[in-house]
Amino acid sequence: MSYLEYTVRRVPTGPAKVLYLNWPLLVLVATAAAIGFVMLYSVAGGSMSPWVEPQLKRFAVGMVLMLGVAMVPIWFWRNVSGLAFGVSLLLLVGVEFFGDVRMGAQRWIDLGVIRLQPSELTKITLVMMLAAYYDWLDIRKVSRPLWVAIPVLLILLPTALVLTQPDLGTAILLVAGGGIVMFVAGVHWLYFASVFAAAGGLVTTVFWSRGTSWQLLKDYQFRRIDTFLNPDIDPLDAGYHITQAKIALGSGGWTGRGFMQGTQSRLNFLPEKHTDFIFTTLAEEFGFVGGMGLLAIYALIIFFCIASALGNQNRYGAILTLGIAAAFFLFFAVNMSMVMGLAPVVGVPLPLVSYGGSAMLVLMVAFGLAQSAHIHRPRTRA
């Protein structure tokens, strides 16, 4: 669908756009962020510093960004998708040379004003790129091998760069997120079936490669998988994170141990308690009820995204919104699986809740895009 098509449909313009915002989505996003503030306050031992204050500022900036992005017509975003993707690829390359090494991984690039994780940015720009691609592509060509190969390359390019950092978590999200965009765009299901089959083969190969000269994963990544499969191997070292996270989560019970009463997080048994493992603190202090509450908010965010996408005649907007929903889902699904011991520890933050600037800003921009798609969706003239 192109600009011309909009001329025959009604699209809100000017300040009236605010009325057409996806308000439930906005409120839900703010709620999730608020839960994040409460949890950061708790893990800091009842203090605004060091985490709540910066996070609040980022959220404020993120909110402004989101609204700004939302106000810009969706076709503008469609037209800059390629550019955005290109820039994030450049940054990914740049991070290889100028990146800061933090916690054993090259992930950060210091732009002077903010420290950016290009890999976070890529999660969204990849979705934009793919959505724009499928918007451009003739629907009848979607499942043709050549036209399938192009998006696959678009996915694998940033994935390869991210893997060299090395950042397994983001790589998984990129592949899964990109795959989901291809899926919703209508690529034939046989492709996916064969990819799953191939993935199974690959996993087998990866494990075969262990200890050989052509070992495909770093030792620490293998160890993470080992400790995931059996955390008791080394409960004080590599398995420590998983074991302590499970203890924190499990000890929460139905209603939790109470706000700021979680012994696991308060006494520093939890690793990364303000970032990747913040869900365990929530589950410890507010129990099953609290965890389900956050999960419900996440589910509603997804629900409103999907609902918005399903009613959207704009192919770019629909695919983009679904892609963002998928990326968001992947964030919390992987994070929760990780802390519940269902997946290896791969370093994925809990969206909107975990402490971290890049992830927060990128997510807010993503929701801004979804809002833009929502506001600027073509409506039949009454």
Partner 1 sequence: MRRTPKDTAEGARIVNRRGLILGGAMAAFSGLLIARMRFMQVEQADEFRLLADENRINIRLVPPSRGLIFDRRGVPLAENEQNYRVVLVREDAGDVGEVLARLQRIIHLPEEDLQKVREEIERRSPFVPVTVADRLSWEAFSEIAVNAPALPGVAPEVGQSRIYPLDQDFAHVVGYVGPVSDYDLTEGYLSEDTDPLLQIPKFQVGKTGVEAKMEHDLRGQAGTRRIEVNAQGRVMRELGRISGRAGDNIRLTVDSALQNYVQVRLGEESASAVVMDCESGDLLAVGSAPSFDPNKFVRGISVADYRALLENDHRPLHNKSVQGTYPPGSTFKMVTALAALEHGVVEPDETIFCGGYKELGNRRFHCWRRGGHGRLPLVNALEQSCDVYFYEIAERVGIENISAMARKLGLGERHDIPMSAVASGLTPTKAWKRENRDTDWLIGDTFNSGIGQGFVLASPLQLAVMTARIASGRAVAPRLVRPLDAGEPDPEAPLLDIDPAHLRFVREGMYAVTNSARGTARASRVVADGIRMAGKTGTSQVRNITAAERAAGVTRNEDLPWDRRDHALFVSYAPHDAPKIACSVVVEHGGGGSAVAAPIARDIVLQALYGGTPPLDAYPTSQRGTIRTRQDELPLRDPSSFSIGRIRA
Binding site for partner 1 (CB under 8 A): 1-2, 4-5, 136, 138-140, 180, 183-186, 244, 246-254, 263-264, 267-269, 283, 287-288, 291-292, 295, 299, 302-303, 306, 309-310, 312-313, 315, 318-319, 322, 325-326, 329, 333, 336-337, 340, 342
Instruction: Give the orientation angle of helix 23-43 with respect to helix 52-71, to 10 degrees.
Output: 170
| Choice between 16 and 267, CB closer to partner 1 | 267
Residue number with CB closer to partner 1 (197 or 342): 342
Give the nearest distance from C-beta 294 to partner 1 in angstroms. Answer: 11
Closest distance of CB 262 from partner 1, Å: 9
Question: From the CB of 16, what's the least distance to partner 1, in Å?
Answer: 25
Backbone angles phi, psi at 375, to 5 degrees: -65, -45
Closer to partner 1 at the Cβ: 204 or 261?
Answer: 261
Please give the Cα distance from 36 to 52 (Å, whole number).
Answer: 9
Shorter beta-carbon distance to partner 1: residue 87 or 269: 269
> Least CB distance from residue 217 to partner 1, whole Å?
25
Residue among 107 and 257 whose Cβ is closer to partner 1: 257
- For the bound state, the minimum distance from the C-beta of residue 318 to partner 1, rounded and expressed in Å, comes to 5
Nearest residue (CB) to partner 1, 10 versus 57:
10
C-beta of 301: minimal distance to partner 1 in Å?
11
Look at residues 200, 220, 259 and name the one whose alpha carbon lies nearest to residue 42: 259
Give strand pairing partners of 106.
Answer: 101
> Nearer Cβ to partner 1, position 196 or 208?
196
Using DSSP, state whether 177 is helix, strand or coil.
helix
Residue closer to partner 1, measured from CB, 5 or 219: 5
CB of 247 to partner 1, least distance (A): 5
Nearer to partner 1, 89 or 333 (CB): 333
CB of 7 to partner 1, least distance (A): 13
Pick the closest to residue 323 from 183, 156, 148 (CA basis).
183
Q: Each residue of 122-156: b (16+ CB within 10 Å) or e?
A: bbbbbbbbbbbbbbebeeeebbeeebbeebbebbe
Q: How far is the CB of 68 from partner 1 (least distance, A)?
A: 27
Nearest alpha-carbon partner for 323 in 170, 191, 186, 184:
184
Q: Element (H or E) spanning 185, and its range?
A: helix 168-185
Q: How many helices (H) and strands (E) does the chain have?
A: 14, 3
DSSP string, 72-91: S-HHHHHHHHHHHHHHHHHH
Which run of H or E residues covers position 213? none
Residue with Cβ nearer partner 1 (140 or 381): 140
| C-alpha span between 320 and 206 (Å, rounded) | 33
**Contact predicate 127/324, CB 8 Å:** yes
- Token pair listed for 200: 């199974």
Residue 283: name the closest of 248, 324, 318, 315 by CA. Answer: 248
| Min dist. Cβ of residue 313 to partner 1 (A) | 6
Nearest to 39 by CA among 278, 333, 256, 364: 278
